Amino acid sequence: MEWIETTGRTIEVAKEQALELLGVEEVEVEFEVLDEGKSGFFGIGGREARVRARLRPRVPAPKRERRRGRRRRGGSEKGAAAAAAEGGAESEVDVAQGEGPVTTDAGTQHQRGSLSRVELAARAQSFLAGLMQEFGLTGEVRVVRLDDEWMELSIEGENLGVLVGSRAVVLDAIQELTRSVLQAVAGEGVGRVVVDVAGYRQRRREALERFAREQALIALETGEERVLEPMSPADRKVVHDVVAALEGLATRSEGEEPERYVVIYRTAEQGAIPETADAGSHQGVD
């Protein structure tokens, strides 16, 4: 049998994921550790352990016997959501029940079902609730928007600043982790996932819009370019959108991530955009 690769927070977790994929017990598998991994703060700055595994050369036991005891059939969606909260951030591989092939990053297929949008939102809620518990925080995770392409969740409570961090670095990491957990069971069909904490993103957007207008007016009056501080792609888009609505002004993005920033400038009198501008940047394209 060909080797498969799995990852996890620790070598043991990565091995367990391989056993789940193969549907056998550990004595039936040989492992090779590719990367011991590195610990980080809730996945920030860390590196997951990586192993590869394959069945030992022998006549395999009947499929039903091999998988007996390794997976539970049925169960409530609440239980599945709790499992996602406990293990979703630990590995890139998450096995769900049902039909339909899913390809891991190693190219190996396994079976899982198609979850509804409501079920995916429940998993996201459960994951965020578990993360709050790890931080020692109390609060409520609410789904504030859910449709076929967009899922927005809000964490409400007291003293939640630790979940935001400087320049929302922690909040952005939590949002990306949440999306990764959902992608593990739904692939790219997850769509846009937004996580907010106590209305921070809305307040940030309103403040950023005011700031962008102020800087745009200075650029319009003086003719001098206004170079803003490095921002996330989402914040840069806010600035692009605000300036795009103002006549006689345009924007462009410069620099490399994570130090990429926006420049606001006055367009030529005839309305032409300078050659140095990013094509379409004044339309909000970053």
- Domain shared by 141 and 59, yes or no: no
198: left (phi over 0), alpha (psi -120 to 50) or beta: left
Say if residue 227 is in the same domain as residue 123.
Answer: no
Compute the average pLDDT of residues 263-280: 58
Task: Print the domain residue range for 210.
Answer: 202-283
Average pLDDT in the chain:
75
Q: For 62-100, how does the pLDDT look when each residue is reduced to its tens digit (9 = 90+)? A: 444 444 444 444 444 444 334 444 444 333 333 333 333
Q: Which residues contact 21 (CB under 8 A, 6 or more apart)?
A: 4, 6, 93, 95, 104, 108, 110
Same domain for 248 and 272, yes or no, is: yes
Dihedrals φ, ψ of 164, to 5°? -100, -55
DSSP state of 199: T
My answer on whether 113 and 31 are in the same domain is no
Q: Which residue is it, tokens 């996602």?
A: 84
pLDDT tens digit sequence for 110-146: 334 478 899 999 999 999 999 999 889 999 999 999 9
In this structure, are 215 and 180 located in the same domain? no
pLDDT over threshold 80, residue 58 = no
Number of domains in the chain: 3
Query: What is this structure's pTM?
Result: 0.51
Domain boundary among 13, 45, 71: 71
Is residue 100 domain-shared with residue 183, that is, in the same domain?
yes
Higher pLDDT, 227 or 14: 227
pLDDT reported for residue 46: 60
Q: Is 73 helix (H, G, I), strand (E, B) or coil?
A: coil
> Which CATH number belongs to the domain containing residue 220 in this structure?
3.30.1370.50
pLDDT beyond 80 at 30:
yes
Q: Which of 198, 219, 237 is the last residue of a domain?
A: 198
Mean of pLDDT values over 148-156: 93
